[in-house]
């Protein structure tokens, strides 16, 4: 009797499991969070042809970590060899690829590539370790850009040396733009409509599948003026995830424009900063900033604390856009929800403002023997630096919970 019951339970479980499989398969472009690739990454299943792709979250973006292989009429395998489609993905005619990504994903714009490259700091962290003629990158993010070459009217070229990744953007002459990547640099090029390039798709924003920050974000209210601030847990510390906006003596809005206080917080003299935080919170010490950097860089083997802490937009002189010829905007990954924006600073004696859009400076409570104050600096570079200076500047304040 017990054996019959067990058999019935087993049959019921198999039927339910198979039904669940059919239900999952009926969904569009499912991110299979329960099924991991050999790299441990989540996998996307394209409903159009059933192919699966590794996906990777970098900052606030979710990318395919492989070149697209979906077959359309105007697409080719490198050298017309099917094995190269499996290895590199397909090459799509530049004029035909704008809608080739699966539903819920899209061909990235130039700015979206800029956010990606600016956030990681060094684009070589995205290159595959193998496949390049000389040497590849370290593929730190498992993004695995391969040297897939490209196609022109004259034929195929570039395998092992470079890749062209198609964008949805047009250059100033309304020509289709691609990102050309070699082992030595990347840059933005105009592409002929009849040429063919690789495609990396990025997930549409606002999707339910989009992962959240590694930080645990909530909020607090400053009882002094009723201002609400996002807060975030990073390691064993709890930080304000916005710059302080509480008005005190010797605090300023950048360029004396009130909207800059709303967007970037106030800039405080060192003396004003020391008493600016609300009750239960304090100005972090030099060592507490060091602890923050250690946590966000932990296990990464690189000095990329700045990239981890900076906001994923707003950096760079050109409204956060990447400059041409391999220059970086400095946009970060904001991997922990700290969301450091480039608020700049004020020179108190000169009464002049500098570096909004380029740098962020946060006072610490620590001083050296000469009465100079330590501060955390974030710039367009990927690292985070703790420096010391004379207390003649107005910097931003991030409060740390007691």
pLDDT at 138: 85
Residue 46 tokens read as: 């394209």
Is residue 197 domain-shared with residue 279, that is, in the same domain? no
Residue 124's beta-bridge partner residues?
none
322 alpha carbon, distance to own chain's centre: 14
Is 2 within a domain? no
pLDDT of residue 216: 53
According to the model, what pLDDT value does residue 217 have?
Answer: 53
pLDDT for the residue numbered 12: 44
Residue-level pLDDT at 392: 96
Per-residue pLDDT of the chain (402 residues; tens, 9 = 90+): 445 544 444 444 444 444 444 444 444 566 665 455 555 568 888 999 999 999 998 878 899 999 999 999 999 999 999 999 999 999 999 888 778 999 999 999 888 888 888 777 678 889 999 899 988 888 888 899 999 999 998 999 999 999 999 998 887 677 888 999 998 888 888 877 889 999 999 998 754 333 333 455 588 999 999 999 999 999 999 999 999 999 999 999 999 999 999 999 999 999 999 999 999 999 999 999 999 999 988 866 678 888 889 987 788 744 434 434 334 557 788 888 899 999 999 999 999 999 999 999 999 999 999 999 999 999 988 889 999 999 999 999 999 999
On whether both 252 and 385 belong to a single domain, the answer is yes
Assess whether 282 and 325 both reside in one domain. yes
In a domain, 9, yes or no: no
What is the length of the chain? 402
* SS3 labels along the chain: CHHHHHHHHHHHHHHHHHHHHHHHHHCCCCEEEEEECCCCCEEEECCCCCCEEEEEEECCEEEECCCCCCCCCCEECHHHCHHHHHHHCCEEECCCCCCCCCCCEECCCHHHHHHHHHHHCCHHHHECCCCCCCCCCCCCCCCCECCEEEEECCEEEEECCEEEEEEEEECCCCCEEEEEEECCCEEEEECCCCCEEECCCEECCCCCCCCCCCCEEEEEECCCCCCEEEEEEECCEEEECCCCCCCCCCEECHHHCHHHHHHHCCEECHHHHCCCCCCCEECCCHHHHHHHHHHHHCCCCCCCHHHHHECCCCCCCCCCCCCCCCCCCCCCCCCCCCCECCCCEEECCCCEEECCCCCEEEEEEEECCCCCEEEEEECCCCCEEEEEECCCEEEECCCEEC
- Strands of 99-236, DSSP E: 105-106, 148-152, 155-159, 162-170, 176-182, 186-190, 196-197, 202-203, 216-221, 228-234
Same domain, 250 and 296: yes
In this structure, are 359 and 282 located in the same domain?
yes
The answer to whether the beta carbons of residues 345 and 243 sit under 8 Å apart is no
Residue 367 belongs to some domain of the structure: yes
pLDDT value, residue 283: 97
Quick one: 266 and 288 in the same domain?
yes
Predicted local distance difference test score (pLDDT) of residue 176: 85
Of 169, 203, 237, the residue that ends a domain is: 203
Last residue within a domain, chosen from 203, 232, 251: 203
My answer on whether 304 and 353 are in the same domain is yes
| C-beta atoms surrounding 74 within 10 Å | 15
What is the C-alpha separation between 291 and 285, in angstroms, rounded?
Answer: 10
Determine if the pTM surpasses 0.95. Answer: no
Decide if 307 is inside a domain.
Answer: yes
pLDDT score recorded for residue 318: 44
My answer on whether 225 and 278 are in the same domain is yes
How buried is residue 221: exposed, middle or buried, by Cβ count under 10 Å (0-12/13-18/19+)? Answer: exposed
21 belongs to a structural domain: no
Q: Are residues 69 and 55 in contact, defined by beta-carbon separation less than 8 angstroms?
A: no
Q: Does 15 fall in a domain?
A: no
Judgement on whether residues 133 and 74 belong to the same structural domain of the protein? yes
285 and 364, same domain (yes or no):
yes
14 assigned to some structural domain: no
C-alpha dihedral, 245 to 278 to 365 to 385, nearest 10°: -50
Going by C-beta distance under 8 Å and a sequence separation of 6 or more, which residues neighbour residue 110? Answer: 167, 169, 177, 179, 188, 321, 322
For position 367, what pLDDT does the model report? 96
Same domain, 223 and 156: no
Strands 281-282 and 267-268 turn out to be unpaired
Can you say whether the dihedral through the CA atoms of 400, 210, 262, 361 is positive or negative? positive
Report CA-CA distances (Å) from 17 to 5, 21, 22. 18, 6, 9
Of 203, 226, 247, which one is at a domain's C-terminal end? 203
| Domain around 324 | 216-401
Residues 228 and 377 in one domain: yes
If one counts the domains in the chain, the total is: 2
DSSP label at 121? S
In the numeric block, the tokens 């063919």 are attached to 196
pLDDT at site 20: 46
Residue 178 domain flag = yes
Can you tell me the distance from the alpha carbon of 258 to that of 201, in angstroms, rounded to the nearest whole number?
Answer: 39
* Residue found under tokens 């640099």: 185
pLDDT score, position 300 = 64
> Can you give the pLDDT at residue 180?
92
Report the pLDDT value the prediction gives residue 42, as an integer from 0 to 100: 81
């Amino acid at each position: 009797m017990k054996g019959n019951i067990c058999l019935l339970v087993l049959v019921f479980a198999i039927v339910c499991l198979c039904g669940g499989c059919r239900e999952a398969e009926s969904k569009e472009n499912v991110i299979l969070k329960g099924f991991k690739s050999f790299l441990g990454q989540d996998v996307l299943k394209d409903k159009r042809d059933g192919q699966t792709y590794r996906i990777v979250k970098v900052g606030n973006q979710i990318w395919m970590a492989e070149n697209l292989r979906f077959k359309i009429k105007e697409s080719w395998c490198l050298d017309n060899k099917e094995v190269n489609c499996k290895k590199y993905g397909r090459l799509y005619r530049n004029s035909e690829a704008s809608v080739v990504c699966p539903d819920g994903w899209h061909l990235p714009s130039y700015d979206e590539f800029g956010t990606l490259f600016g956030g990681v700091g060094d684009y070589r962290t995205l290159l595959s370790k193998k496949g390049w003629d000389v040497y590849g990158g370290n593929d730190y993010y498992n993004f695995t850009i391969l040297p897939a070459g490209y196609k022109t009217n004259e034929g195929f070229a570039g395998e092992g040396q470079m890749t062209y990744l198609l964008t949805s953007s047009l250059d100033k002459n309304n020509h289709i733009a691609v990102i050309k990547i070699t082992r030595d640099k990347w840059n933005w090029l105009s592409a002929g409509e009849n040429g063919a390039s690789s495609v990396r798709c990025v997930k549409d924003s606002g999707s339910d599948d989009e992962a959240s920050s590694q930080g645990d974000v909530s909020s607090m209210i400053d009882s002094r003026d009723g201002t609400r601030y996002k807060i975030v847990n990073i390691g064993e510390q709890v930080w304000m995830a916005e710059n302080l906006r509480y008005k005190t003596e010797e605090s300023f809005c950048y360029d004396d424009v009130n909207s800059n206080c709303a967007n970037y917080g106030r800039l405080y003299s060192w003396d004003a900063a020391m008493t600016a935080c609300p009750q239960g919170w304090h100005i972090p010490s030099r060592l507490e900033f060091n602890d923050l950097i250690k946590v966000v860089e932990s296990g990464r083997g690189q000095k990329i604390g700045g990239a981890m802490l900076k906001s994923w937009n707003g950096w760079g002189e050109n409204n956060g856009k990447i400059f041409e010829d391999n220059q970086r905007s400095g946009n970060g990954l904001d991997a922990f929800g700290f969301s450091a924006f480039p608020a700049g600073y004020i020179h108190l004696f000169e009464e002049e403002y500098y570096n909004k859009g380029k740098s962020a400076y946060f006072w610490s409570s620590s001083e050296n023997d000469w009465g100079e104050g330590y501060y955390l600096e974030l710039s367009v570079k990927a690292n985070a630096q703790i420096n010391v200076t004379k207390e003649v500047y107005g910097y931003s304040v991030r409060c740390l919970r007691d």
